[in-house]
Amino acid sequence: MPELPEVETVCRSLRPFLVGKTVEKCEVKEEKLIKSSTAAKFVQDICGSTFTAVNRRGKYILLETDKGETLVVHLRMTGKLLISDKTEKVGKHTHVRFILNDDQKELRYDDTRKFGILYLGDRQKLSELNGLASLGYEPLSEEFTPQVLAEMMRKCQKKIKAFLLDQTKIAGIGNIYADEILFQAKIHPESVTKNITDEKVITALHFAIRDRLSQGIKYGGSSIKDYVNSFGESGSFQKMHKVYGKYGEACSECGTILEKITSAGRTSTYCPHCQKKY
């Protein structure tokens, strides 16, 4: 599933093209992807809308329109928002097409597994969209400080991996970046969150969260399977991974063989020597 860096990369690739474009026609092939209304009403409401901004909240893409509405897109496992040539053959996994007032390009939503969502609604009523309203801190924002992190951790009895994956605490972190963050911070994924009280360790975790996510964005995200940005380009941050997907390999820091466990319902890869359990 695309995580914060991948979704941010999609937004950055979309923004210069999409802002100012008007939807002249919309085609929906897979109605179950539309969560705000019937497909017919979705088409009726989006047509004539001009996109005014492209934003992100956690793993959600927010496409603002001049009608006071927001098109919310969650890519889930295999969703893609692609800027495609109008003459390009429509693929079998293209489920929504937005034909724009552009001579050459259009916006397409592709989704192999069809788990994604598209929701069009009043900007002031997005709290009605389950999941979006309950999102926690944006980890790259000024509001997310080491002190804020420490206070959240002090009250949390979950394992630290589960804490990082909890979207109501910190928005946008998934399995890939959680593993990389914990390795950089030298924390075992099964550590009990509230047991991590050392200020230096918490500061290191805060730095690792911001650093790994920022670096992920810098390198265009992690293309593990089929993730690409809106131009169809793969990211390269997977080449910088230290632990994710490297079970059985030697730790880049100490040479110990990396192990894996199931933590928070997800597989975690870690170094038993470098990462301390609290």
Q: Which two structure tokens, joined as six digits, stand for 76? A: 């889930």
Active site residue 189: no
Long-range contacts, 126-131 (Cβ 8 Å, 24+) = 126/70, 126/72, 129/35, 129/72, 131/60, 131/74, 131/167
Please name the amino acid found at residue 81: L
Q: Which member of 2, 5, 139, 189 is catalytic?
A: 2
Residue 101 neighbours by CB under 8 Å, 6+ apart: 21, 22, 24
Among candidate residues 3, 8, 64, 180, the one labeled active-site is: 3
SS3 257: strand
Measure the CA–CA gap between 36 and 242, rounded to whole angstroms. Answer: 40
CB-count exposure of residue 198 (10 Å: 0-12, 13-18, 19+):
exposed
Amino acid occupying residue 28:
V
- The structure tokens listed for 88 are 């390009």
Can 210 be counted among the known catalytic residues? no
3 is catalytic: yes
2 carries an active-site annotation:
yes
Q: Which DSSP string corresponds to 66-112? A: TTSEEEEEE-TTTEEEEEEETTSPPPTTEEEEEEES-SSEEEEEEES
- Catalytic choice (5, 8, 56, 59): 59
Catalytic residue among 138, 266, 272, 276: 266
> Pairing between strand 69-74 and 117-122?
antiparallel
d(CA 76, CA 1): 6
CA distance 44 to 82: 22
Residues classed as catalytic: 2-3, 59, 266
